[in-house]
Structure 1
Amino acid sequence: MSAAKTFRIVVGVDGSPESLRALEWAVAEARLRQGQVHVVTAWQHPAMVVGDDDHDWDPTRYEARARRLQDEALRSVHAGPEDITGEVVPGQPAAVLLEASTEADLLVVGSHGYGGFTGLLLGSVSNQVVHHARCPVLVVKPRRQGRL
């Protein structure tokens, strides 16, 4: 990294407590490095069930929810406007974060802590980005009960 280049941390935020911890970590690290944090929130249409007429499939509803989650996350951290930027991107979360990793020096994500068979069934964004990101990845794990 050259002296003129700003260290860029991309962090995935979905509104979960784990992603908020990842954002807090990213902001603290950026301060240490005089770097920049770029918050990425992905959104996508839910899976559609044939014959299910009870849902509003308006994409603006899902994008608005993602923007609201990101805005709340940004308000939760204490960073100056020059320190942190954000974007809301349509797409599958792992794919969106992998794309964002091409412009990052570090990618930070939270882990929901699903493991074993449950994690396999649900798919793991953190697992996918750890294996395929174009930069180093830090996974912020959930705190265990009774531990600091």
Structure 2
Amino acid sequence: MKMGASAFLIVVGLDGSELSFGALKWAVEEARLRQGAVRAVTAWHYPPVPSSVEDAGPNDALHYFQRMQSEALETVDSQGLEISAVLVRDLPARALLDAAKDADLLVVGSRGHGGFAGLLLGSVTNQVAHHAPCPVLVFRAAG
């Protein structure tokens, strides 16, 4: 265990997709079984654009992701469990890999909001599965 002798840390990627909500619920239940903690990470990234265009977007995106993350965390039973929320403006894979540096497990959905729904793994999931500093669990929908 990297966080301390008494805490098994699970980092979970939360992007607003149904699979990320499922991953969050799974992570909370696993952390409860292990008497651990959960760190929910939400990241977003804008490609470089002229500042006049970007100036209108980041606050809207920030508020959207804050609201989404807060609403998602309200859906899980966190009673007796330490759950921290991290919101970062960065490439999602980089943000997850950074957040997982001291984690015992990284949990991500098999696909997020990317445009290629037919893929078995999304690009962020693929990147973290290959580069994570800890074991990775890829959450898939039942069925």
Coarse TM-score class (shorter-chain normalised): 0.7 to 0.9
Q: Is this contact kept in 2: 1:14–1:42, CA < 8 A?
A: yes
CA distance in structure 1 between the partners assigned to 2:142 and 2:90 by the alignment: 28
The residue that corresponds to 1:101 in the other structure is: 100
From 114, 119, 132, the equivalent of 1:115 is 119
The residue that corresponds to 2:38 in the other structure is: 37
The residue that corresponds to 1:83 in the other structure is: 82
Q: Deviations over 1:57-90 (max 9, x none)?
A: 3311111111111001101101127421111011
Amino acid at match of 2:19: E
Kindly state the Cα deviation for residue 96 of structure 1 after the two structures are TM-superposed: 0.4
Amino acid at match of 2:101: T
Q: Is this contact kept in 1: 2:6–2:36, CA < 8 A?
A: no
TM-score by length of 1: 0.81
The residue that corresponds to 1:16 in the other structure is: 17
Identity among equivalent positions (%) equals 49
Amino acid at match of 1:63: L
Kindly state the Cα deviation for residue 92 of structure 1 after the two structures are TM-superposed: 0.9
Q: Is this contact kept in 2: 1:45–1:57, CA < 8 A?
A: no
The residue that corresponds to 2:114 in the other structure is: none
- Between 6-15 and 82-91, report the one with greater CA deviation: 82-91
Check 1:60–1:32 CA distance in 2 against 1; reply closer, same or farther (3 A cut).
same
Amino acid at match of 1:72: E
Check 1:10–1:56 CA distance in 2 against 1; reply closer, same or farther (3 A cut).
same
- Higher Cα radius of gyration: 1
* 1:63 is the counterpart of 2:62: yes
* 1:127 is the counterpart of 2:126: yes
Point out where structure 1 has 5 or more consecutive residues left out of the alignment: none
Q: Is this contact kept in 2: 1:44–1:62, CA < 8 A?
A: no
Q: Deviations over 1:71-117 (max 9, x none)?
A: 0110110112742111101111111001111021100001126427x
TM-score by length of 2: 0.83
